[in-house]
């Protein structure tokens, strides 16, 4: 914005989340757990906060997550659970690392501050305390999520010790999972075989089999490999890959392998495991949205229009014209998504000689709000509501611009915001002409300033701006911010004539 003025031989540990039975009849089938339960303990910053029970299944240790949510609550980290999504919200002041999430696959999604960071595979058993069916989730992966919150975790097979900065005990972010009755493939087995550990564990637990529905068996569904190949091409990313594929379901000779290898290496999408990509798995619309989000390097949903992944995709125009409503991404919806992405990256849609501008999405923290502060050192937009208003208005303004050639002139129609605090500014190498009556009369000025319309009575819905076609028209969207003692530039688009096609084109410009 510019002012004008583990661990060794780690076992998988699992968390448990309450999961209501599908019906009362289903809940009465069995009130006894299918696994042998055992005593566990959570220690937070040196204090025991709960002593639940867990179990081991196929050399994997499981742990009840409701108690983990409760433990996080002691540090003002809130959790919301809807049966499929675990939404974790960190308090103000807690640093959250949202960079390049390795989302993976699974039936449970974990979000940090509105950003999807991990999917895991859950299983259901009876909670002996409530006698209700309960969903259990792998803690090894949850420890990786907690790393992003700066929470250090140790697991000794019975006690999960968490250390936070708020607890005053130091410790860098990192986790280690130790085993109790065995480890992943190649690890030790036997009761108590693995000990405790500290640091950043790097050994992942053995992956469960890929049981995701296959796109080939669902008419009209899109496979994971196809989506990746199509989006890598639409994003303009050069695809390159090692000569040998690590995936048992995607040989190096497969046409989609270079795109898949490139997407995985760039953190756009995660394979099912290190040896299996899940090439034929079905995907969702959210999978496509997340890939674009990751490519843009977005680390905070707070500064993006909409404030969350799905709302952002809708606000920027990625999902325009997509009906959705299906469990899996369809070929028709994927085709529209890819075209929307191409239109956004090109800066607009040309039809009948008229360019409809499409404001190319970027990480708005970097492109719009970085350096956002008043002379007194306060943010220009100090609240989430203020940030959302500013960035939403910016996208709405630029997406409302059209441009066309009229003889030897380039004419753009700019929306006029009825709130005079938000205004357009347009300039070129020479003078600019503008019209408030649809081109009937024109006024010549050195630059068009939307604030000049305030004294002209009723504001028009649009203003026409005309410049010679040989020079680009520079359009910015601005906001009067009293605390900044002037205005701030929220966005900038350059509109010009494409020398190859002779048609108008638009390009978003980085604010320095």
CA angle 486, 489, 493 (to 5 degrees): 150
pLDDT recorded at residue 31 = 63
As given in the structure block, the two tokens for residue 187 are 């690890």
Q: Given this model, what pLDDT does residue 285 score?
A: 93
Query: Where exactly are the structural domains of the chain?
Result: 6-177, 215-346, 349-508
Residue 412 token pair: 């753009």
Give the predicted TM-score (pTM) of the model: 0.66
Cα 113 to Cα 88: distance, rounded to the nearest angstrom: 6
Cα separation of 419 and 415, whole Å?
12
Give residue 192's pLDDT.
Answer: 29
Return the residue matching tokens 């970085």. 370
Specify the DSSP class assigned to residue 318: T
d(CA 80, CA 88): 7
- The predicted pLDDT at position 3 comes to 52
Helices (H) and strands (E) in the chain, counts: 10, 28
Predicted pLDDT of residue 101: 83
Tokens 């661990």: give the residue.
7
Residues 448 and 462: their CA atoms lie apart, in Å, by 13
**pLDDT string in tens for the chain (512-residue length):** 555 442 222 233 444 444 333 333 333 334 678 877 777 788 888 888 777 777 776 666 677 777 788 788 888 888 888 777 888 988 887 888 888 888 887 788 899 988 888 888 777 777 776 677 777 777 778 888 998 999 988 877 778 888 887 664 333 333 333 332 222 222 222 222 233 333 333 344 455 678 889 999 999 999 999 999 999 999 999 999 889 999 999 999 999 999 999 999 988 988 888 889 999 999 999 899 999 999 998 878 899 999 999 999 999 999 999 987 778 999 999 999 999 999 999 999 999 999 999 999 999 999 999 877 666 778 889 899 999 999 999 999 999 999 999 999 999 999 999 888 999 999 999 999 999 999 999 999 999 999 999 876 788 999 999 999 999 999 999 999 887 788 999 999 999 999 999 999 999 999 86
Number of CB atoms found within 10 A of residue 470's CB:
13
Tell me, letter by letter, the H, E, C secondary structure of 246-278. Answer: CCCCCCCCCCCHHHHHHHHHCCCCCCCCCCCCC
């Amino acid at each position: 914005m510019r002012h004008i003025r583990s661990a060794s031989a780690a076992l998988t540990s699992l968390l448990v989340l309450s999961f209501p039975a599908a019906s009362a009849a289903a809940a009465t089938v069995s009130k006894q757990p299918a696994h042998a339960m055992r005593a566990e303990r959570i220690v937070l910053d040196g204090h025991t906060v709960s002593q639940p029970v867990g179990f081991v299944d196929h050399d994997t240790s499981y742990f009840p997550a409701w108690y983990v949510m409760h433990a996080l609550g002691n540090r003002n980290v809130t959790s919301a659970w809807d049966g499929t999504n675990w939404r974790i919200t960190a308090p103000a002041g807690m640093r959250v690392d949202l960079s390049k999430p390795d989302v993976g696959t699974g039936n449970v999604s974990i979000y940090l501050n509105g950003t999807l960071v991990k999917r895991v595979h859950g299983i259901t058993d009876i909670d002996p305390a409530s006698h209700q069916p309960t969903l259990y989730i792998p803690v090894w992966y949850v420890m990786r999520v907690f790393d992003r919150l700066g929470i250090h975790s140790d697991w000794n097979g019975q006690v999960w010790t968490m250390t936070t900065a708020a607890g005053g005990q130091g410790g860098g972010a990192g986790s280690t999972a130790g085993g109790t009755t065995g480890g992943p493939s190649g690890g030790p087995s036997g009761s108590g075989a693995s000990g405790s550990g500290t640091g950043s564990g790097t050994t992942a637990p053995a992956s469960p089999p890929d049981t995701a529905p296959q796109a080939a068996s669902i008419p009209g569904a899109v496979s994971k490999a196809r989506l990746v190949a199509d989006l890598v091409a639409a994003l303009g990313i050069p695809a390159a890959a090692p000569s040998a594929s690590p995936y048992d379901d995607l040989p190096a000779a497969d046409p989609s392998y270079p795109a898949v290898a490139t997407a995985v290496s760039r953190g756009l999408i995660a394979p099912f495991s290190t040896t299996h990509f899940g090439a034929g798995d079905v995907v969702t619309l959210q999978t496509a949205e997340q890939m674009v989000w990751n490519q843009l390097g977005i680390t905070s949903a707070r500064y993006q229009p909409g404030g969350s992944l799905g709302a952002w995709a809708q606000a920027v125009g990625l999902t325009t014209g997509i009906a959705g409503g299906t469990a899996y991404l369809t070929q028709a919806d994927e085709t529209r998504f890819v075209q929307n992405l191409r239109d956004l990256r090109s800066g607009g849609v040309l039809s009948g000689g008229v360019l409809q501008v499409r404001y190319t999405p970027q990480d708005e923290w970097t492109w719009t709000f970085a350096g956002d502060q008043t002379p007194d050192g306060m943010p220009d937009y100090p609240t989430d509501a203020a940030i959302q208003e500013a960035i939403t208005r910016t996208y709405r303004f630029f997406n409302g611009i059209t441009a066309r050639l009229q003889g030897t002139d380039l004419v753009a129609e700019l929306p006029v915001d009825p709130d005079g605090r938000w205004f357009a500014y347009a300039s070129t190498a020479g003078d600019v002409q503008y019209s408030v009556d649809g081109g009937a009369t024109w006024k010549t000025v050195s630059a068009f300033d939307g604030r000049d319309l305030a004294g002209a009575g009723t504001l028009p819905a649009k203003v026409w701006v005309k410049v010679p076609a040989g020079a680009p028209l520079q359009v910015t969207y601005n906001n009067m911010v009293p605390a900044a003692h002037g205005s701030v530039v929220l966005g900038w688009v350059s509109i010009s004539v494409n020398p190859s096609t002779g048609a108008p084109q638009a390009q978003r410009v980085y604010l320095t």
